[in-house]
Amino acid sequence: MQAVRIHEHGGPEVLRVEEVPRPKPGPGQVLVRVIAASVNHLDLWVRRGMPGFPVPFPRILGCDGTGEVVELGEGVDGLAAGTLVLLEPGFTTKPSAEVEQGMDHLAADYGIRGEHGDGFDAEYVAIDAHYCRPLPDGLDPVRTAATPLVFVTAWGALVERAKVREGETVLILGGASGVGSAGIQVARDLGARVIATAGSPDKRDLARDLGAEFVVDHRDPDWAKQVQSHLERRGCDVVFEHVGPATWRGSMSCLARNGRLVTCGGTTGPKVEILLPHLFIKNLSVLGSTMGPRKAFGPILERLASGAYRPVIDRVLPLREAALAHTLLEERQALGKIVLVPGDQTTA
């Protein structure tokens, strides 16, 4: 079978589409024919290399996707050959209290496909059966491949950590990005009033189309003042951050008293500054959030099937064009997610 692998860190040119042995399902596993896998910023970070995080080579990239079950390993029940499934991005290796509670993303041994083990940028994968979620009738597997990582991350940040309530005002940074577009939809579904930022006119149009009532250009030095003016100086109850240093100061300044900032990443760098008087005088909370709980996939799929959530896809490319997909995402030329499909089908 074909798979996208890296043998060293570097730019998109280190991505190799190679022939590798097709995996065989072990006990409790299923063999899945991959239908589609989406590209995330996490793929870029693994490809480039992250300080203090050694990656065994070669590594197959791809942290989420969809597929069709084609073979069952010993002891598997509840799934049948031909079932279309969502492939969960996260996994654990041993029992724990967090796993029993459906909060496996907090377990000490939690890992993500394509980062802590081989991922889904391949024609077939062998995976533990309980990490396969049957797709509700009517969901397109190519489009659904764009949802697992970003929607579970947005759910983890806004539902589990920030605990957004109906009627609150939520600011979503990078509202046209994968996690930002998911964040707008999750916040709106919770009954929140949504403000967003985006870096180009077409991205701002997308954020408005997804449900943001007011959208500003976060490249404008005065973007935070524009948000405050729109809210008549009241500020936001929740800010969903994943950009980092480039927007941090503005994000903090947009918070209302008792506001909560929740962050799940830093695409512009790892270090930010916090002014302590600003933090304690306004009684602010700064929350970290990584991924989200497995128990969220059920309601996420239900909302996708009902139309309450919708994937945002820029384009679909053949698996062999993974380097182009990385380049487009790295250069911020994608309006939504990029999805890779084995073979030559490029419609969504």
Read off the pLDDT of residues 79-93 as tens digits, 9 standing for 90 and up.
999 999 999 999 999
Mean of pLDDT values over 100-109: 91
Tell me if domain 2-146+311-341 and domain 151-288 are identical in fold. yes
What is the bridge-based pairing of β-strands 313-318 and 236-241?
unpaired
Q: Which CATH architecture has domain 151-288?
A: Alpha-Beta Complex (3.90)
Q: Which CATH architecture has domain 2-146+311-341?
A: Alpha-Beta Complex (3.90)
Length of the chain: 348
Does pLDDT of 18 surpass 60?
A: yes
Beta bridge mates, 317? 340
Q: Predicted confidence band at 101 (pLDDT cuts at 50, 70, 90)?
A: confident
Residue pLDDT, tens place only, 140-156: 999 999 999 999 999 99
Per DSSP, helices labelled H in 27-105 are 41-48, 97-100
282: exposed, middle or buried (Cβ count in 10 Å: 0-12, 13-18, 19+): middle
User: Where along the chain do its domains lie?
Assistant: 2-146+311-341, 151-288
- Distance linking the first and last C-alpha atoms of the chain: 23
What is the bridge-based pairing of β-strands 193-197 and 214-216?
parallel
Does pLDDT of 343 surpass 90?
A: no
Residue pLDDT, tens place only, 40-58: 999 999 999 998 899 999 9
- Read off the pTM: 0.94
Does pLDDT of 347 surpass 60?
A: no
- What pLDDT is stored for residue 348 in this prediction? 53
40, 153, 171, 173, 266 from 157: Cα distances, Å:
17, 6, 13, 13, 14
Residue pLDDT, tens place only, 169-204: 999 999 999 999 999 999 999 999 999 999 999 999
Residue pLDDT, tens place only, 65-82: 999 999 999 999 989 999
The type of residue at 151 is: F
Asked if 33 and 18 touch (Cβ cutoff 8 Å), the reply is no
